[in-house]
Amino acid sequence: MSDSPARKVTANLSLTLDGRYHGPAGPGDMGAIVPYAVTEVARDQMSRAHENATTAVLGRRNAEGFLGFWPTMADNPDADPRDRGYAKWLVNTEKVVLSTSLTESPWERTRVVNAPAADVVADLRTSGTGDILVNSSSSVIKPLLAADLIDRLYLIVCPEIAGGGPRLFDDGLPGTKWQLALRESGELGEMALVYDRVR
């Protein structure tokens, strides 16, 4: 390993008050989260999350979903400037998509990797510069939390209880300590929280 410091691994995700990233009906059950995704607080959090990142890591489902939406926003003059900025960053940055089923890259500047998330991210940390942003992909964030590889969490907490669906923080994670780096609240009651891992 080189003498240069390891890159920071960051992750962003929106959660309900009961810690769920979608509702009980499956990944499309986002009714408790979507209303808060376009607020001023959420857009500022999105800008904050990608400003120092030079690599985006995504799971397959998010990569395919994002492909249908974000590239169209990059040059949309009617879009919020923060949305355009994020879209341009996402289109132009290096992307790593973790998938066991994809055989070719769904985007330009993207490589598909069929390997455990912790191994891929640990390898990414040792070369290059800039933050590695795990971009709203719970399937990647969860194993990285289990391996204690995340240095910063960007969370939006939505003021709804989903009552079912998967949680981000499962039982069995290693005990870790985090320091609050930022807290903002929005008009709808949503909270933007940034936590740094204390090591």
In a domain, 1, yes or no: no
Over the stretch 161-196, which tens digit does the pLDDT of each residue have?
999 999 999 999 999 999 999 999 999 999 999 999
pLDDT at 68 over 90: no
> 151 is in which domain, residue-wise?
9-198
Q: Answer whether 150's CB lies under 8 Å from 11's CB.
A: yes
Judged against a pLDDT cut of 60, whether residue 3 lies above it is answered with no
The Cβ of residue 198 has, within 10 Å, a number of other Cβ atoms equal to 8
Is residue 166 situated within a structural domain? yes
- Is residue 69 one of the residues assigned to a domain? yes
Q: Kindly state whether residue 3 falls inside one of the protein's structural domains.
A: no
> Do the Cβ atoms of 152 and 11 come closer than 8 Å?
yes
Residue 4 located in a structural domain: no
Inform me whether the pLDDT recorded for 126 exceeds 70: yes
Q: Is residue 95 part of a domain?
A: yes
pLDDT at 64: 87
- Residue 153's DSSP bridge partners are 11, 195
Q: Give the CA distances from residue 116 to residues 71, 92, 102, 113, 120, in Å, rounded to whole numbers and listed in that order.
A: 28, 25, 15, 9, 6
- Per the structure, the count of domains in the chain is 1
Domain of residue 169, CATH code: 3.40.430.10
| Res. 107: pLDDT tops 90 | no
Confidence of residue 4 (pLDDT cuts 50, 70, 90): low
Tokens representing residue 29 in the block: 């059950």
**pLDDT above 80 (res 139):** yes
First to last CA, the chain: 20
pTM above 0.85, yes or no: yes
